[in-house]
Amino acid sequence: MESLKLYGVQDIRYEEAPMPTLVHSDDVRIKISTVGICGSDLSRYKKLGPYVPGTIFGHECTGIIVETGSSVSHLQEGMRVAVCPTFQCGTCHYCQIGEPSRCSSLHVVGAKQDGAFAEYIVLPSTQVLPLPDEVDDETAALIEPSAVVAHGFYRTNIQPGATVAIMGCGSIGLLAIQWAKIFGARQIFAIDIDDEKLEIAQRMGADVLVNSKEKLAHEQIRALTGDLGVDVAIESAGSPITSAQVLALPKKGGEVVYLGIPYGDVPIERFYFEQIVRNELSIHGSWNALSAPFPGREWQATIHYMKTGAINGAPMISHRLPLNQGPDVFKRMTSGEKGFVKVLFYPQAQTI
């Protein structure tokens, strides 16, 4: 079968790989329909991190079950399914107290075991979620990143009528706009330095667009909120700069959620750091997308709101590509080329 394998820093190769087979009685084999590039894939491609060279890359996927193990009874061949690609150990302190996102051995497919940039994948049935007919394959490929965003919102004390600022309008930030509406936000500010992404943010439901290249984000937000700030600020860019600047967005007593991962030191000017103390901010780190019972309410809520149409990923899908274009598109995305938001691969398709 065709696949994309990562061998080293910026070394991804389109290669043939053996068909994966069932190993355990609770395994299922899935024919992959669509699979997306995650921001963490780009970071791993650029800097590697924990990895086994030659492993099939990728983890944001959906597909159709083509084979089930002998002990699998709740899933059948022909079912359309989404995948939870994250594994918990189930035995560490955090798993035992019902906090699987804090698992000491948390890991994701596509790093140390074969992932989803391929025609087929084999996973335990516990990692597989049936899809309703109302959720199409492209939308379903966004279930994992959507669950990541939902996990962050569940960490907050957000109330209906809140004002929310989303800093960074990549795929996570764009999904955060829709989750803010689901949680009852009355006004959503989208912040970025790219006007094209801000236009997509508006299509996703943002009420006010803020280009922070023109003027500091917090100055614009204060002017737009009567010098108050917002109830909740979401950092979804993963930039060292925005990781500091986001602290100036909330009102006194407000909240900050860090969804982005800055792959570099975060120098914080005194002005931004003082906002935490002087404004008595609540700061939430948010990691992955799991809760108890596994995989968690984030996944069921995501599927529900995709079914109702409250989460619509279509405006953020910028590219639909065959898998053999993988090496080229990774190089282009990490070179700084604009125009990429969410890229989906279609295994087995040479032309889209």
In this predicted structure, the answer to whether residue 208 has a pLDDT above a threshold of 50 is yes
Per-residue pLDDT at 297 exceeds 90:
yes
- For residue 49, what pLDDT band results from cuts at 50, 70 and 90? confident
pLDDT of residue 349: 62
193 and 229 housed in the same domain? yes
Percent of the chain whose predicted confidence (pLDDT) is above 90: 93
What is the domain range of residue 300?
2-146+289-346
In a domain, 54, yes or no: yes
Residues 166 and 278 in one domain: yes
Residue 351 lies inside a defined structural domain of this protein: no
Domain assignment present for residue 151? The answer is no
Provide the pLDDT for residue 156: 98
Q: Give the pLDDT confidence of 112-156 residue by residue, as tens digits.
A: 899 999 999 999 999 999 999 999 999 999 999 999 999 999 999
- CA 261/CA 167 separation, integer angstroms: 13
Q: What is the pLDDT, as a whole number, of residue 233?
A: 98
pLDDT at 352 over 70: no
Confidence category of residue 15, pLDDT binned at 50, 70, 90 = very high
Strands 27-36 and 120-124, bridge-based pairing: antiparallel
Residues 244-252, mean pLDDT to the nearest whole number: 98
Final residue before a domain boundary, out of 285, 309, 326 = 285
| 329 found inside a domain | yes
β partners of residue 191 = 167, 210
**Is residue 316 predicted with pLDDT exceeding 80?**
yes
Instruction: Name the residue type at position 168.
Output: G
| Within a domain: 45 | yes
Looking at the fold, whether 25 and 132 belong to one and the same domain comes out as: yes
User: Could you tell me the CATH number of the domain that includes residue 247?
Assistant: 3.40.50.720
pLDDT tier at 218, thresholds 50, 70, 90: very high
Query: For residue 336, what pLDDT is reported?
Result: 87
Nearest CA-CA partner of 109 in 51, 59, 34, 45: 59
Does 136 share its domain with 198?
Answer: no
Residue 263: pLDDT band (50, 70, 90) is confident
pLDDT above 60: residue 109: yes
Residues 257, 163 share a domain:
yes
Domain co-membership, 213 together with 248: yes
13 and 110 inside one domain: yes
The pTM for the full model equals 0.96
CA distance 227 to 104: 42
Give bridge partners of residue 343 from the DSSP assignment. 319
Tally of domains in the chain: 2
pLDDT category of residue 351 using cuts at 50, 70 and 90: very low
Are both 100 and 180 inside the same structural domain?
A: no
Q: Mark whether 296 and 279 lie in a shared domain.
A: no
Residue 298, phi then psi, degrees to nearest 5:
-60, -40
Looking at the structure, tell me whether residues 8 and 139 fall in a common domain: yes
Hey, what are 42's tokens?
């780009």
Give the pLDDT mean for 222-241.
Answer: 97
- For residue 16, the cross-strand partners are 2
DSSP state of 18: P
In a domain, 352, yes or no: no
Average the pLDDT over 218-231 and give the result. Answer: 98
Which of 285, 309, 332 represents a domain boundary (last residue)? 285
Which CATH number fits the domain that encloses residue 325?
Answer: 3.90.180.10
Q: Which residue has the higher pLDDT, 230 or 50?
A: 230
Same domain for 11 and 48, yes or no, is: yes
Nearest in space to 19 (alpha carbons), one of 6, 35, 3 = 3
Out of 264, 285, 306, pick the residue that ends a domain: 285
Same domain, 76 and 140: yes
What is the rounded average pLDDT for all residues in the chain?
Answer: 95
